[in-house]
């Protein structure tokens, strides 16, 4: 049995990837697992996983490093799995014989890191963050990659061990219901931030077109997420209230992981129409694989990362050049042509069962962490 420590400075203690998948598999394999997150105070244990989290994300970088070093020295783990350069640097500064694993799931630098920067400061900040990320790669013993494009920077370290562990969900969390006959009723589901970058404006526009093309269909737009600003809330609430009369909007805040998985069973179709910019098109959306496991069609903007991984046309549709009119016609066909809807539902579920699930990749992940 080995002692393993997750250090999350980008994610919560009960992050779906860390807690519900990776830590769970390691515990089931007989290992002692701890999770530290800098986002909250959490010191209990759940399902065999022990938490040692403290809210230090508001502290300065040096104070965070000092605290993380003290955690590493206290627990003296065999391996540390880090989600950011901060955890990696702390692991190195702790001066303990520990194996450092970098689980690369985030862009560094990303758009959010550069928000608020002026033209003069944006380029220097980008270069500094990039160099910090490269330093983290140099200090790391092993890499875990969530997806292809985020791995490319670290191909520089060709001599280090690497493993790809995609964002596939455990099918045990996803409720599967046989697709219903739509019969002039339709539930459209969106989960995420209610902002322009994540495509919320596009979701509203497409829903409006679907409602106009199928005026006799009772449409439910089920939303799970929240607004980032009061400005966004005022803008989008006005647009939601102006949707055609055959649309009912159900809105909920972000849900805990088990409740989120249960909420997916409401949907007939999943939408994710995030803006197709450089960063988004090279990011593989995590929720895509949860939607597939539900066995329902998915509608996405045409992102390069998805094209590389999944055959969307077999279980849904890509939107190209904001051509919402054509997609609205296709969705209208789902309502009036049950055979097309059922075919895409079956294909999505089959792909989830045959390839895109945690049960298939979990043994390889455990071996990589322990070996």
pLDDT by residue (tens digit) across 228-251?
999 999 999 999 999 999 999 999
Closest to 55 in 3D by CA, of 35, 39, 34: 39
319-352 b/e with 16+ CB inside 10 Å = b?
Answer: beeeebeebbebbbebbeeeeebeebbebbbebb
Peptide bond into 58 cis (omega under 30): no
Confidence band, pLDDT 50/70/90 cuts, at residue 196: very high
Burial of 46 (0-12, 13-18, 19+ CB in 10 A): middle
Q: What is the pLDDT of residue 115?
A: 79
Confidence band, pLDDT 50/70/90 cuts, at residue 182: confident
Confidence band, pLDDT 50/70/90 cuts, at residue 305: very high
348-360 residue pLDDT tens: 999 999 999 999 9
Q: What is the pLDDT of residue 308?
A: 93
Q: What is the pLDDT of residue 173?
A: 96
46 and 38 Cβ atoms separated by less than 8 Å: no
The position carrying tokens 């077999």 is 314
Q: What is the pLDDT of residue 183?
A: 83
**Which DSSP symbol is given to 218?**
E
Tokens of 288: 């895509």
Closest to 272 in 3D by CA, of 341, 224, 326: 224
Question: How large is the greatest C-alpha to C-alpha distance in the chain, in angstroms?
Answer: 68
Tokens of 337: 């042509």
Q: Please state, rounded to an integer, the average pLDDT across all residues of the chain.
A: 94
Which of 37-51, 188-202, 209-223, 330-344 comes out lowest in average pLDDT? 330-344
Tokens of 173: 């969390």
Q: What is the pLDDT of residue 32?
A: 97
d(CA 336, CA 340): 9
Element of type H or E holding 36: strand 32-37
Closest to 305 in 3D by CA, of 199, 103, 149: 149
Q: Which residues pair with 222 in a beta bridge?
A: 189, 250
Confidence band, pLDDT 50/70/90 cuts, at residue 332: confident
Sign of CA dihedral 280, 286, 288, 291: negative
Q: Which residues pair with 99 in a beta bridge?
A: 79
Instruction: For the chain, give the percent of residues with pLDDT over 70.
Output: 100
Sign of CA dihedral 302, 303, 307, 310: negative
d(CA 203, CA 239): 11
Output the pTM of the full model.
Answer: 0.94
103-149 residue pLDDT tens: 999 999 888 887 777 777 888 888 999 999 999 999 999 999 999 99
The position carrying tokens 């075919």 is 343
Q: What is the pLDDT of residue 26?
A: 98
48-107 residue pLDDT tens: 999 999 999 999 999 999 999 999 999 999 999 999 999 999 999 998 889 999 999 999
Instruction: For the chain, give the percent of residues with pLDDT over 90.
Output: 84
């Amino acid at each position: 049995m080995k002692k393993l420590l997750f250090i999350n400075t980008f994610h919560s203690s009960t992050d779906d990837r860390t807690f519900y998948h990776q830590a769970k598999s390691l515990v089931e394999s007989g290992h002692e697992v701890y999770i530290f997150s800098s986002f909250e105070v959490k010191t209990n244990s759940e399902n065999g996983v022990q938490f040692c989290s403290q809210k230090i994300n508001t502290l300065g970088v040096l104070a965070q490093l000092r605290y993380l070093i003290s955690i590493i020295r206290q627990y003296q783990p065999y391996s540390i799995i880090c989600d950011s350069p901060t955890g990696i640097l702390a692991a190195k500064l702790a001066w303990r014989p520990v194996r450092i694993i970098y689980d690369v799931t985030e862009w560094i630098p990303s758009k959010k890191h550069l928000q608020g920067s002026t033209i003069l400061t944006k380029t220097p900040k980008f270069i500094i963050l990039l160099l910090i990320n490269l330093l983290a790669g140099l200090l790391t013993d092993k890499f875990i990659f969530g997806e292809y494009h985020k791995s490319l920077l670290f191909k520089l370290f060709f001599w280090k061990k690497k493993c790809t562990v995609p964002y596939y969900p455990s099918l045990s969390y996803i409720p599967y219901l046989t697709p219903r006959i739509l019969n002039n009723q339709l539930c459209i589901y969106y989960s995420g931030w209610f902002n322009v970058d994540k495509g919320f404006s596009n979701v509203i526009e497409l829903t409006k077109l679907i409602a106009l093309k199928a005026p006799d269909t009772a449409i439910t737009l089920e939303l799970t997420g929240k607004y980032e600003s009061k400005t966004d809330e005022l803008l989008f609430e006005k647009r939601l209230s102006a949707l055609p009369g055959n649309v009912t909007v159900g809105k909920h805040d972000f849900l805990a992981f088990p409740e989120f998985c249960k909420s997916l069973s409401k949907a007939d179709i999943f939408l994710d129409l995030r803006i197709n910019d450089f960063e988004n098109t090279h990011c593989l959306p995590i929720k895509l694989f949860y939607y597939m496991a539900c066995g329902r069609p998915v509608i996405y903007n045409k992102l390069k990362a998805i094209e590389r991984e999944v055959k969307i046309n077999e279980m849904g549709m890509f939107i190209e050049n904001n051509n919402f009119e054509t997609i609205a016609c296709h969705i209208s066909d789902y309502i009036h042509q049950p055979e097309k809807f059922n075919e895409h539902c079956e294909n999505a579920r089959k792909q989830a069962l045959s390839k895109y699930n945690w049960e298939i990749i979990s043994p390889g992940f455990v071996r990589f962490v322990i070996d």
